[in-house]
Amino acid sequence: MRIAVIGAGVVGALIARELCRYEAEVLLFEREPDVGWGVTKANSGIVHAGFHDEPGTARARFCAPGNALFPKLSEELGIPFRRTGAYVLAFSRKDLGTLEELAAQGEANGVPGLEIHRREEVLSREPQVNPGVIAGLWAPTVGITLPWEIAIAAVENALENGLELHLDEAVIGVEVSRGKVRAVRTEKGSYSVDAVVNAAGLFADVVSRMAGLDGIELHPRRGEYVLLDETTGDLVKAVLFPAPTPKSKGILVLPTIGGGLLLGPNARDLPGDARDATETTREGLSEVISGAKRLVPDLPLGKAIKTFAGLRPESPQKDFVLGETGVKGFYQAAAMRSPGLTAAPAIAEWLSREIAMDLDLEEKPDFNPTRDPIPHPADLPEAEWEALIEKDPRWGRIVCFCNRVTEGEIVEAIRRGARTLDGVKFRTKAMFGRCQGGFCTDRVLEILSRELGVPPWEVAKARKGSRIIIGEVRP
Ligand SMILES: Cc1cc2nc3c(=O)[nH]c(=O)nc-3n(C[C@H](O)[C@H](O)[C@H](O)COP(=O)(O)OP(=O)(O)OC[C@H]3O[C@@H](n4cnc5c(N)ncnc54)[C@H](O)[C@@H]3O)c2cc1C
């Protein structure tokens, strides 16, 4: 049996990994040159508890179970996950009513440990919070992670278990005959398949239409962010939410895995064709800053090192579209707005079991669920770092001074599939620190050029043609 998964974001990557547990050929198609470069690349990275979602929705069904899978996922795939807990902050009696509704909703969704704390308790735990706060809904299971690292790790692990990965290969057609899926067509060829999973993120409506299905309509909803450097991460311990609006969870302040603070996102609906519109705007960033200051008034904004934006795949039904369809063998993992990252591991387990039952697949006896992360010597005890240098001196040469990333890590990232500057950045955190690559991009580029055996002007930043260097000044 042959199964094609379309889209290597966090959702498609985890589904492909789960499908590799079964006796089947699994093919993963991604139109970008690397995995995790779609919606998965730019979001808040929160592992939500599940109290924001209305009972009865697919979001509510998969969020809390997804959250509960994160410790195991983190252990198996070597990805970062930290339970910080979260507060939803109330500044008025109306907000307090919202907190009570969220607590009841969370209980209905099976979210453990929710408590409403009084002002004094909130301020004793989070002294930087606006003193105008009157109460906070405490959710201890909320955590933070690095979404793109999950996609990278899941694909690496799936490759170990037999996945066939097709990067830089957009699916352009899905062949259906007599109500059953038969093949997928890409820019490079045609592949006969027994099942297809549509995990194409912002483009899941387009892929769905390829199979003759009209039920999904998506448009991008942009969220902009400001990232503060790693000296600011201790200002708050938990993820801080305002009371949500009907449109979004609101503008947040949260600690990041990298040790900084993230402010955002706002929520701006864009036209359906603006699916590459990840630019930030003056208006949007002002909105983010004033929203964040409402929660934490004394934010050290001079420590901002980056602004960026992500696009949510919004649908009129405001819910995930999951599972089997009117076309036999065509399955949806579509309209994956928030909390899609959190829900992804639970959806992957459930959907792969459904497909395995439909196709009568046996489990492989030798599936290996573990993947070793790239070692980061700066986090290791000195003796272990020295042992690495003993084997290869490149593990002792620091290239990115902000995040103390060594040449050994960069070479290992390239060995595991990085072909671009962003590929190295998302695998190692080189160029991800305070200077945002100002001091090390040229060194990383040199290493990529040397290891890949191509001239430096052929090394792309991300997509094909996004070059940093265009040629030699003097031959
Ligand atoms: C601003 C913002 C904040 C968010 N915050 C959170 C949060 O804190 N917590 C949370 O749980 N969720 C959050 N989310 C939601 C979460 O980020 C998404 O649900 C999740 O990343 C979706 O992953 P995906 O794999 O479905 O999509 P994507 O990551 O977009 O992956 C789909 C992939 O399909 C590829 N593709 C598309 N068309 C084709 C084709 N024809 N052929 C081959 N490949 C194709 C794309 O290139 C892409 O790589 C947030 C989203 C945004 C935008």
Q: How far is the CA of 62 from the centre of ligand 1 (A)?
A: 16
What local confidence, expressed as pLDDT, does residue 459 receive? 95
**Peptide bond just before 381 cis, omega within 30 deg:** no
> What is the pLDDT confidence band of residue 215, given thresholds at 50, 70 and 90?
confident
Nearest residue by C-alpha to atom 49 in ligand 1: 38
Q: What is the dihedral of CA 340, 274, 16, 425, to 10 degrees?
A: -90
pLDDT > 70: percent of the chain: 100
Homologous superfamily (CATH) for 377-458: BFD-like [2Fe-2S]-binding domain (1.10.10.1100)
Q: How far is the CA of 7 from the centre of ligand 1 (A)?
A: 9
What local confidence, expressed as pLDDT, does residue 464 receive? 86
Q: How far is the CA of 202 from the centre of ligand 1 (A)?
A: 7
Which of 14, 15, 27, 39 to probe ligand 1 with, by most ligand atoms within 8 A of CB?
A: 39
Q: How far is the CA of 336 from the centre of ligand 1 (A)?
A: 7
Instruction: Give CA 427 to chain center in angstroms.
Output: 13
Has 219 been annotated as catalytic? no
Q: Rounded CA gap, 345 and 340, in Å?
A: 9
What local confidence, expressed as pLDDT, does residue 67 receive? 98
Q: Rounded CA gap, 90 and 97, in Å?
A: 9
Q: Does domain 82-142+219-313 have CATH number 3.40.50.1970?
A: no
pLDDT single digits (tens) 147-178: 999 999 999 999 999 999 999 999 999 999 99
What local confidence, expressed as pLDDT, does residue 248 receive? 84
Q: Rounded CA gap, 344 and 17, in Å?
A: 12
Instruction: Give me the mean pLDDT over the 126-137 stretch.
Output: 98
Instruction: Give me the mean pLDDT over the 255-281 stretch.
Output: 96
**Overall fold of domain 2-40+147-217+317-359:** FAD/NAD(P)-binding domain (3.50.50)
2-40+147-217+317-359 and 82-142+219-313: identical CATH topology: no
pTM value is 0.97
What local confidence, expressed as pLDDT, does residue 265 receive? 98
Instruction: Give CA 94 to chain center in angstroms.
Output: 33
> Residues enclosing ligand 1, CB less than 6 A?
6-12, 29-32, 37-40, 43-46, 48, 147, 170-171, 199-203, 207, 223, 265, 310-312, 336-342
Ramachandran class of 335: left when φ > 0, alpha when ψ lies in -120 to 50, beta otherwise = left
Pairing of strands 330-334, 195-198: parallel
Helices (H), 297-420: 340-359, 382-391, 407-415
> Domain-by-domain residue ranges, the chain?
2-40+147-217+317-359, 82-142+219-313, 377-458
pLDDT single digits (tens) 13-55: 999 999 999 999 999 999 999 999 999 999 999 999 999 999 9
Which of 35, 37, 40 to probe ligand 1 with, by most ligand atoms within 8 A of CB?
A: 40
Q: Rounded CA gap, 206 and 216, in Å?
A: 9
